[in-house]
């Protein structure tokens, strides 16, 4: 039984690490936001933008080095990866802003935790996580054949 679990973990290592560091990225975002708002009296909008920026930089670093194990550290390659990563996060951010409204308008209006339409928000979050994973794996940190 232990060997089956070990094999399953090894087989799904990348996905497991992606989910673990996704939670860590969320915690980074919330922590930075809280410090900015509570300790430094930064306005909510600025704090949200800065905490998103710090979280995306953190996510890039852990995804590059730990999750997808991209070993390329040259300036040009690093710049391309970082640019593609930010572009992907901006696109998924747009999905996260507009998809809940669309889902709500087409009928996903069920209340969750007493909040009307929250199921649309949760559904969107799942879709955004999947989109970010696919974008990172297939575009940003794709494995290239060695010449």
Q: Which among 46, 69, 92 is the end of a domain?
A: 69
82 and 58 part of one domain:
no
Q: Phi/psi at 28 (nearest 5 deg)?
A: -60, -45
Tokens representing 128 are 């955004």
| pLDDT tens digits for range 39-71 | 999 999 899 899 999 999 999 999 999 999 998
pLDDT-based confidence at residue 107 (cuts at 50, 70, 90):
confident
Q: Whole domain around residue 106: which residue ranges?
A: 71-147
- Cβ atoms of 131 and 94 within 8 Å: the answer is no
63 and 75 part of one domain:
no
The pLDDT of residue 146 is 52
The pLDDT of residue 82 is 97
Domain count, the chain: 2
Q: Is the pTM of this model over 0.75?
A: yes
- Cβ atoms of 136 and 143 within 8 Å: the answer is no
pLDDT over 80 at 115, yes or no: no
30 and 86 part of one domain:
no
18 and 83 part of one domain:
no
| pLDDT tens digits for range 23-45 | 999 999 999 999 999 999 999 98
Residue with tokens 């936001």: 33
Where would I find the H helices in the chain?
2-11, 13-34, 44-62, 75-105, 118-135
Q: Which among 50, 69, 88 is the end of a domain?
A: 69
45 and 75 part of one domain:
no
pLDDT-based confidence at residue 143 (cuts at 50, 70, 90):
confident
18 and 57 part of one domain:
yes
55 and 101 part of one domain:
no
Q: Phi/psi at 12 (nearest 5 deg)?
A: -110, 25
Could you say which DSSP state residue 38 is in? I
């Amino acid at each position: 039984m232990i060997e089956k679990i070990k094999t399953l973990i090894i087989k799904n290592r990348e996905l497991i690490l992606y989910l673990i560091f996704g939670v860590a990225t969320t915690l980074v975002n919330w922590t930075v936001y809280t410090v900015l708002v509570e300790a430094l009296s930064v306005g909510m909008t600025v704090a949200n933008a800065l905490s998103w920026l710090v979280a995306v930089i953190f996510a890039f670093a852990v995804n590059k080095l730990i999750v997808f194990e991209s070993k390329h550290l040259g300036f040009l390659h690093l710049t391309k990866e970082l640019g593609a990563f930010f572009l992907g996060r901006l696109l998924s951010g747009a999905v996260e802003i507009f998809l809940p409204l669309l889902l709500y308008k087409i009928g996903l209006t069920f209340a969750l935790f007493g909040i009307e339409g929250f199921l649309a928000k949760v559904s969107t979050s799942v879709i955004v996580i999947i989109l970010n994973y696919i974008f990172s794996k297939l575009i940003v940190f794709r494995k290239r054949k060695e010449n």
